[in-house]
Structure 1
Amino acid sequence: MRRPIPPPRRHCLNHHPESSPAGPARHTPRFPTRRSPDAAFGEAIADTWHRTHGAKRLDIPAGIVATLALWPTKTEGAWHAQQLADFIANQPAEKWPDTVGEVASVHWVQRPDLISTAAPILRWAEDEHSPDTLYAIKAVALTALKHGILHHTGDRDPALRSDTDLMSWTITALRHRGDRSWLGEFHTTSDVADAMSRLSMGAHPPAVSSLYECAGGTGGMFRAAAQHLRTCSVDPRRWTWHLQDLDPIAAAGAAVNFLIWDLGPNATVACGNVLSQGDLHTQALKARAELEELRDRLADKAASTVAQLRTLRMLEDLGICSPPPHARPENSDQSAA
């Protein structure tokens, strides 16, 4: 029999786990101080999702992994990771769609283009879900925490967040074997990608250059290249990175990875067929500019609204104007008396 879903409870994304009640959340397992092997992580996510939900769709579990990997509060040390994991695990099942939206919104402010590209694995959070699906969502989140996702992606140092491509392991494990063959989608292991990067880039890579891949999947080769640059004391944020892939789920995973790996302001991801559409780098730059303009307009409008509300409150405090009728106390007659 499945455990009952816990009742909803107020929570805040910016709440620090140290301000929670002392001790780990009830029914929360102790999370590991070491990371599970990459393949074991993906297999555990797939097994949990298929066992608790059974649906073929993979956008939901991939989105949960992406949300945990993108969690804004980065930690230092195993103890802090444990505290943060306890806090995240205590999120009620009903709150997980809202949590996905909150995490995506935080990163949308910084890189609206990458979060828009990642929409195929995040958009499900806007839908209504059955209790069974919510149960499976939380089960996937707990599995990801138990297998050390915060130790893979939760460090402040981007070099320590770039040891592996968890999105690729997750998506590949969730796909049916026949789907992987039809898409030509096979994971390139980290050690192979690292070796290829060292051989192709050499011991003295330039401080500024570019890398383009027309069928890049979730970006495993870019991860290896960025790590090699760091070992050579070259900042990957100064490079230009452009990845393109036909599969929208893979492109979404790459967009999430670009944020995790901190590839910098010149990193773009596009979804399209290079054979029929060609290089989509220019279109990706155009889309990015349009989304950043939209973000700036929304930010200006929000700032203007806040300023107007503050001005009205000051005038009310000075007695210069009265609050609108809907804001007056219910016992208006007693207040007037």
Structure 2
Amino acid sequence: MPQPLEQRVHTIAQRVEDVWRSRFSGAPVDLPVSAIAALTLVRGSDPRGAREAFLDLPSEQAAHVLRLLWSGFGRARPDLVYRALPLARWTHGTAEQEQQATLVAVARAAVQAGFFDLTMNAQVRTSVDVFGPLLMALRPKAARERNGQFYTPADVAEILARGSGTPQPGEQIFESSVGTGGLILAFAEQIRAHGRDPADSHWELVDIDPVAVACLAVNVHLWGLGPRVLIGCGDGLADDWRPRALYERDLGIRIQRSQPLYRMATALDRYASAA
């Protein structure tokens, strides 16, 4: 009997965590999360074929595929590129051999656990958050508690969304501690259940955790929330985060006019110089 969807996501997160801990215990989690985020961008109608093809690739070629997937994200969503940079920065320059091998090992663990069965199915990928459980698995419990981070299960998010009422067409939806977007996904699912498109809504989303926000940027793309999205990184209740978020969104769009191959690299250069 197949596992429930959320249990499958947790199983994949645990497999990734096992591989990561065996290689880089205590290191920042943006690297393994980056590998998983890149895999969500694989498209096609044959998850089994994609699985076999990816697992058969030599390590260097598999790492190159991950880089190409991030470049594709930059082309498809220049409005989100700055928010995703904490995950994509390793693609700029040459990763160390050990780092590259670990990226590939993490990606292969997810693929072997059935990752493409989730993300290459359009109906499934628009209804699941693969990143929330992943961050909870990769980050130590003490660190999560210290930063007040927790994962809201899908059924709880659904109850909260229903209690808030169904957003109306064109309505602005604001979430100040959005994390990877579990509650936002519940709102989007509710909108679809009423026969409407979440892309018709205006989404203003902010969180203080840059890695969670980067995951959210990828989720916004996966869930089809459309172009009316503003994502900020900061304290949604205390910081004046909107001007910077608007600037970076618009800058990413302007970079789109550059050579496609250099969009992500150009954004990374500007990001590094501003840091």
2:246 corresponds to which of 281, 285, 295: 285
Unaligned ranges ≥5, structure 1:
1-31, 303-337
Q: Secondary structure, in 3 states, of the residue corresponding to 1:215?
A: coil
Moved over 4 A (4+): 32-36
Residue of structure 2 in register with 1:68 after alignment: 39
Q: Do the aligned residues in 1 keep the contact of 2:32 with 2:103 (CA within 8 Å)?
A: yes
**2:101 is aligned with 1:135:** yes
1:42 to 1:288, Cα distance in 2 relative to 1, 3 A:
same
* Separation of aligned partners in 1, 2:44 and 2:70: 15
String of CA shifts for 1:29-76, please: whole Å, max 9, x gaps.
xxx9996522222222111111133352211110011000122x232x
Residue of structure 1 in register with 2:209 after alignment: 247
- Figure out how many residues of one structure are paired with residues of the other and give that number: 260
Tell me by how many angstroms 1:175 deviates: 0.5
1:128 to 1:109, Cα distance in 2 relative to 1, 3 A:
closer
String of CA shifts for 1:110-166, please: whole Å, max 9, x gaps.
2123122111112113354444333322221111112222122212x3x42122211
Q: Do the aligned residues in 2 keep the contact of 1:97 with 1:126 (CA within 8 Å)?
A: no
Q: Which amino acid aligns with 2:82?
A: S
Tell me by how many angstroms 1:233 deviates: 0.4
Q: Which amino acid aligns with 1:74?
A: G
String of CA shifts for 1:163-208, please: whole Å, max 9, x gaps.
2211111112111111101111100001111121122124xx4222
Q: Which amino acid aligns with 1:150?
A: F
Bigger relative contact order (CA 8 A; separation at least 6): 2
**2:229 is aligned with 1:259:** no
Structure having the higher helix fraction is: 2
**2:65 is aligned with 1:111:** no
Q: Secondary structure, in 3 states, of the residue corresponding to 2:206?
A: strand
Q: Alignment RMSD, CA only?
A: 2.4
Q: Secondary structure, in 3 states, of the residue corresponding to 2:28?
A: coil
Tell me by how many angstroms 1:297 deviates: 4.2
Residue of structure 1 in register with 2:110 after alignment: 144
2:174 corresponds to which of 212, 215, 219: 212
Unaligned ranges ≥5, structure 2:
264-275
Larger CA Rg, structure 1 vs 2: 1
2:188 corresponds to which of 222, 226, 238: 226
The percent identity for this pair of structures is 27
Tell me by how many angstroms 1:85 deviates: 1.2
Q: Secondary structure, in 3 states, of the residue corresponding to 1:122?
A: helix
* Separation of aligned partners in 2, 1:150 and 1:34: 16
Residue of structure 2 in register with 1:199 after alignment: 163
2:87 corresponds to which of 117, 121, 145: 121
Residue of structure 2 in register with 1:47 after alignment: 18
* Separation of aligned partners in 2, 1:101 and 1:138: 11
* Separation of aligned partners in 2, 1:254 and 1:220: 9
Q: Which amino acid aligns with 1:107?
A: F
Residue of structure 1 in register with 2:148 after alignment: 184
Q: Which amino acid aligns with 1:199?
A: G
Q: What TM-score do the two structures reach when normalised by structure 2?
A: 0.86
